[in-house]
A and B are shown apart, each in its own frame.
Chain A
Amino acid sequence: MNIYDIVFYLFAAITLASAFVVVTARNIIYSAFSLLFTFFGIAGLYVLLGADFIAVVQLMVYVGGILVLILFGVMLTNKITSVQIKTGTLQVIPAILGTALMAGVLIKIFTGTNWHSQMAQYPTKTTAYALGHILLTDYVLIFELLGILLLIALIGAATIARKEEKAS
């Protein structure tokens, strides 16, 4: 086991453990804070994969932006800290059977499949240049479509948030 493996398992453990807390914590503040470690762990995994740009974006957008927004939302909402979230268990036996089956199939797939893989090419310089180039040439359609998707999401969010006015 070399240093790369150790770092990988470290980040994977951080991600998994904090993700577990996110879904099981009874206090929503704890969930929001442990989400921070989940995002951080994933950023670490990106770095290990040689995707430096995505790792930085992950930190800036998810940790810096989205998480802060979530925390603001949690803090500014009245009484939310005292609300007991219903994480009770229903239908225990069918749920265990279902998840066990699902886990079995997935483990079988992930261990038994001959995945399409190629040798990692460690970038000598930052990947931002190549990413920018490919986004504006090969994937320009996807890029522009994402722009429209975000516009629609903004307009949709504004529509939902707006109070209904009586027709004049």
Chain B
Amino acid sequence: MEFNTIYNNLFYLVPEIAVSAFLLLVVLADLILGNNKKLLPYLSIAGMLVAGFCVMNQMTFSGAVFSPSGQSKSFGMVTVDSFGAFFKLLVVISTILVVFFSFSSEEIKKSTRRQGEYYTLILGMVLGMFLMISATDLILIYLSLELMSLSSYVLTGFTKLKDRNSEAALKYLIYGAVSSGLMLFGISIVYGLTGSTNLYVINTLLQSPQINMLALGIAGILIFAGIGYKISAAPFHFWTPDVYEGAPITITAFLSVASKAAGFALLARFIKVTFVSSVAPSGHWLLIPVFPWKELLIVISILTMTLGNFTALWQTNLKRMLAYSSIAHAGYLLLSVAVLSNQGLVAMLVYFAIYAFMNLGAFFIVMIIANKIGSEDLEDYKGLGYSMPFLGVTFGMFLVSLTGLPPSAGFIGKLYLFIALVDANMITVAVIALLNTVVALYYYIRVLKEMFLSKPTGEPVSLRLSPLSLILILVMLAPVVIFGVYFTPVVEFAKSCITILGM
């Protein structure tokens, strides 16, 4: 590859370059400004806005860049397409919200002197996610996954005032190291079978008949283990409750939305680019018959959602409950991948666009209440609906949306998922998912019951919301309410964003 080509390729990587530049700027500003850390969050937000703007510019065009020499032009290491742009926008929006969360988080305020590191690591995570979303080379997939994981391990243990923070970080690191080891082993088997790390090249080689199915099957499972860990799918979810409980709430919210989004984007792209031979006119993907992705994903997703929902029933800590609820949501989202069609992809994008707002909103309100009463236990929420009526009502709306009841936006997300499932003739699976939603109703509503129907135990607490918190809640509430009744724009937008550059 000539230097000229590299230079031309850089144009496609503008969002990633912007994020890296602002990452370095934050490091430098932290050093130069000394004790004045006020500017750093604004610098990170500026970085995200610039990156978001660059992503918007890339919305319409697609292409593969950084193809190793000797390969055809369309076989790149990084693929830029509208599917990736959608997820990058989602990451940008949730990062901006999380940075705003950090303004009002008591946990983060306690370690003001280390703000520089905090925002650097958040930008590091964003860079990892951006590359994960558009990677089509196994080396880049592994490296971007590591970049994201490494930053999130540190962020999980960022506040060191409580033992459970360090415990969470250590658990996250150990489980994470095992899963990335498994993934790397799977990658090495794939490389041994095909002699290439490029997903497009692997795709063409898989269509030849002399591939050993057993070896490829094990490799597929191992690579799925690495991705499944990031999206907390069932057998790899053990870390989720402990890490979500121990991490600062801002980071918990970030992990549950942005890093999950990046994981799902990676999974969908990996399957589509590597294992799909062609797309039927009806939008269904024709798998190369080497690995039973559909069956594997269906089993895992049913396991994930059932386990998440049923374990959430017994939780008394709200952060833990929301952790199990996010496992359950990962189950629903896996179903949208299991459909293996363009319609499933639309359902996934719509679901994610809504899930991001409602989950961030729920975590934000838990954080505000925890700032005030210093606890996330359900016991302490008794009667809070009366002492903090605004928070109680908005929290209720987020929870109803997470359940998926009409007329909230969560309902639309689930509706499109079920339509995609029924269209793909997966009726039994749809029924199981529906029954799961009924179980979910119980534990979400239980919180509301404690808040509104129980007598307050201690003396009533009053809370004055800062204007920033009020605006943030309204910003997150607006999509949850509006998309519930007026959902055409988000669906149309999702439909325009399902181009995954592939076979």
B117 contacts A152, CB within 8 Å? Answer: no
Docked-complex contact A149 and B150, CB < 8 angstroms:
yes
A114 to B216, CA, bound (A): 11
B57-84 CB mask vs A (1 if < 8 Å, else 0) is 0000000001011000000011000000
Chain A residues with Cβ under 8 A from B117's Cβ?
Answer: 155-156, 158-159
**Which of B108-116, B228-236, B301-309 lies at the binding interface?**
B108-116
Question: Does A122 reach chain B (CB closer than 8 Å)?
Answer: no
Is B344's beta carbon under 8 Å from chain A? no
29 of the cross-chain contacts (CB-CB < 8 Å) are A112-B215, A113-B192, A113-B212, A113-B215, A114-B210, A116-B192, A116-B194, A137-B1, A137-B2, A138-B69, A139-B68, A141-B66, A141-B140, A142-B139, A142-B140, A145-B131, A145-B147, A148-B23, A149-B146, A152-B120, A152-B124, A153-B150, A159-B117, A159-B154, A162-B114, A164-B160, A167-B109, A167-B111, A168-B112
Interface string of B5-40 (1 = CB under 8 A from A): 010000001000000100100010000000000000
A156–B3 touching, CB < 8 Å:
no
Q: Is B439 part of the contact surface with A, judged by Cβ < 8 Å?
A: no
Query: From residue B332, how far is it (CB to closest CB) to chain A in Å?
Result: 31
Residue pair A137, B111 in contact (C-beta under 8 Å) = no
How big is the A interface, by class? 20 to 34
Cα separation A158 to B111 with both chains bound (whole Å): 14
Known contacts A112-B212, A148-B147, A164-B111: does B121 contact A155 (CB below 8 Å)? yes
- Contacts A137-B6, A140-B6, A167-B110 given; indicate if A156 touches B153 (C-beta within 8 A): yes
Residue on B nearest A157 in the bound complex, by CB: B154
Q: Is B218 an interface residue (CB 8 A)?
A: yes
Q: Are B154 and A115 in contact (CB under 8 A)?
A: no
- Give B210's nearest chain A residue, CB to CB: A114
* Bound-complex Cα distance A113 to B214 (A): 8
Query: B143–A149 contact, CB under 8 A?
Result: yes
Nearest-Cβ distance from residue A158 to partner chain B, whole angstroms: 7
B157, CB-defined interface residue at 8 Å: yes
Cα A138 to Cα B78 in complex, Å, equals 12
Residues of B in contact, count (CB < 8 Å): 51
Say whether A145 contacts B140, CB under 8 Å: yes
Shortest distance in angstroms between B40's beta carbon and chain A's nearest beta carbon? 13
A152 touching B121 in the complex, CB below 8 Å, given contacts A145-B140, A145-B144 = yes
Q: A148-B20, A148-B23, A167-B110 are in contact. Are A156 and B154 (CB under 8 A)?
A: yes
Is A108 an interface position by the 8 A CB rule? yes
Interface residues of chain B, those whose CB is within 8 Å of chain A, are 1-3, 6, 13, 20, 23, 27, 66, 68-69, 77-78, 109-114, 117, 120-121, 124, 127, 131, 139-140, 143-144, 146-147, 150-151, 153-154, 157-161, 169, 189, 192-195, 210, 212, 214-215, 218
A168-B35 Cα distance, complex, nearest whole Å: 11
Is A105 an interface residue when CB atoms closer than 8 A count as contact? yes
The verdict on A5 contacting chain B, using a C-beta distance below 8 Å, is no
B124→A109 contact, CB < 8 A: no
Which A residues between 47 and 89 are near B, CB-CB below 8 angstroms?
A: none
Tell me the bound Cα distance from A165 to B161 in angstroms: 9
Task: Tell me which of B78, B121, B194, B218 contacts A105 (CB under 8 A).
Answer: B218
A151 to chain B, nearest CB (A): 8
Contact of A138 among B68, B131, B146 (CB under 8 A): B68
Q: Say yes or no: is A160 at the interface (Cβ < 8 Å to chain B).
A: yes
